[in-house]
Chains A and B, each alone.
Chain A
Amino acid sequence: MQDLSLHILDIVENSITAGAKHVEIAITEDLEKDSLSIEIMDDGKGMDKSFVKKATSPFVSTRTERRVGFGLSLLAQAARMSNGSLTIHSEPYRGTKVKAVFQYSHIDRQPLGNIGDTLLTLIVGNPHVEFVYRHQRGVREFNLCSRDLRVRLEDLLVVSPQGLRSLREKLKQDFH
C-alpha cells in the first residue's frame, strides 16, 4: 500500500465482508504529541480472542475466514515502521475496532493520501452501509456522515451523475 488512505479502504472492506452496516472512520492528527491515529470501528460479526491474536500475521490467512489476510498485517507493518503500533479490539457479534498509531514526523510514516477517493469508493460501492467519517487536525475538524447524504445516496444505488457530483463536492471540503 502506498499511503494510509489505501490501508483504510482495505480495512473497511474487511468490515463490510464481516457484514458491517455501520462503519466509523476517525483520523486524528495531533501535532503537539507528534502522533497520527486512525481508528476504524464496525458493527460486523467480530472475531474471538484467539483470532484477534493471530489477525495481524500474514501467514494465518484462511480462505474461508476473510477477516484476516494481508490487509491487517500490512497496516501493522506500516505502523511499526513509523514508531507506532496497531491494536485490535473485537468480540464475536459485537464488531471490531482497529486502531493504528503513527509517529507523525517519522520519516517512514506513509502520507495520508487521497481520503476523498477512499470515501467515494466506499460510499458509492456500498450504498447499504452507513459511513461516519471524522477528521481532526488540532482544533479543526471535518465530519461526514453518509446518512446526511441519504436522499442522494438513493440515487447512488443506480449511480446518478448528479448524486455523484454532489458527493464529490462535499468530499472536496475536507482539508488536505
Chain B
Amino acid sequence: MPKLTLDDLRKIQEKSRRMTMLREGAGKAKITVHMGTCGIAAGARDIMVAFLDEIEKKDAKDVIITTSGCAGLCSREPMATVELAGQAPVKYVDLTPEKARTIFTDHVLKGKIVMEYALALGSERTF
C-alpha cells in the first residue's frame, strides 16, 4: 500500500468538507431550475445554461445549482427558486436568460431580491 502523505490527508479533508457542506445545504446560495415537461418546453434549459454561464464568468463559488420537476404553475414557466442561506426561498416566474442573469447578479451575489420578477414574497397566513 502506498504511503499516505500529509498532502493526501489534506485532500481528503477538503473533499469531505465539501460533501458535508452540500449535505447540510450550507452553500451560500441554492438555485433550483424547474425542469418538468412544461418548464423544458418553455425554455428552462436556457435558464440553466444562463445561470451556469454566470457562475463561470463571475467565478462564483459555493453556489449549488440543481433541477426539480413541475411546480404546478405551468403557465408561468420557466421558473427558478433562489434560496440564500438562512433566508426564505424566492420563486421567480416567466424567466428569460436575461432575467436570470439579473437575478444572479442582484439576488445570488448581492442578496437583493429582484421584486419585479418574483412571484410573491412572504409566506401565507392561516388566520
Contact = CB atoms under 8 A, between A and B. Distances in A.
Interface string B52-66: 100110011111111
B112 interface: no
Contacts of A118: 45
B40 A159 contact: no
Given A1-B40, A10-B37, A121-B48, A158 B27 contact: yes
A105 interface: no
Contacts of B33: 125
A81 interface: no
A164 B52 contact: yes
B35 A125 contact: yes
A10 B42 CA distance: 12
B18 A159 contact: no
Interface in A107-153: 117-118, 120-121, 124-126
Contact of B37 (A70, A155, A157, A159): A70
B88 interface: no
B60 A161 contact: yes
A166 to B, nearest CB: 11
B49 A120 contact: yes
User: What interface size band does chain B fall in?
Assistant: 20 to 34
A120 B56 CA distance: 13
Contacts of A154: 15, 18-19
A17 B37 CA distance: 12
Residue picked from A10, A17, A165, most chain B C-beta under 10 Å: A10
Given A10-B40, A157-B22, A125 B67 contact: yes
A9 interface: yes
Interface string B25-46: 0010000010111101100011
B21 interface: yes
Contact of A13 (B22, B40, B49, B55): B40
Given A161-B55, A161-B60, 19 more contacts: A6-B41, A10-B37, A13-B37, A13-B40, A70-B38, A117-B48, A120-B49, A121-B49, A124-B48, A125-B67, A154-B15, A154-B19, A158-B27, A159-B52, A159-B55, A159-B65, A164-B52, A165-B56, A168-B56
Across the A-B interface, give the 8 residue pairs with the lowest CB-CB distance, nearest first: A125-B67, A71-B37, A121-B48, A70-B37, A157-B22, A161-B56, A161-B59, A10-B40
Interface of A: 1, 6, 9-10, 13, 17, 66, 69-71, 74, 117-118, 120-121, 124-126, 154-155, 157-161, 164-165, 168
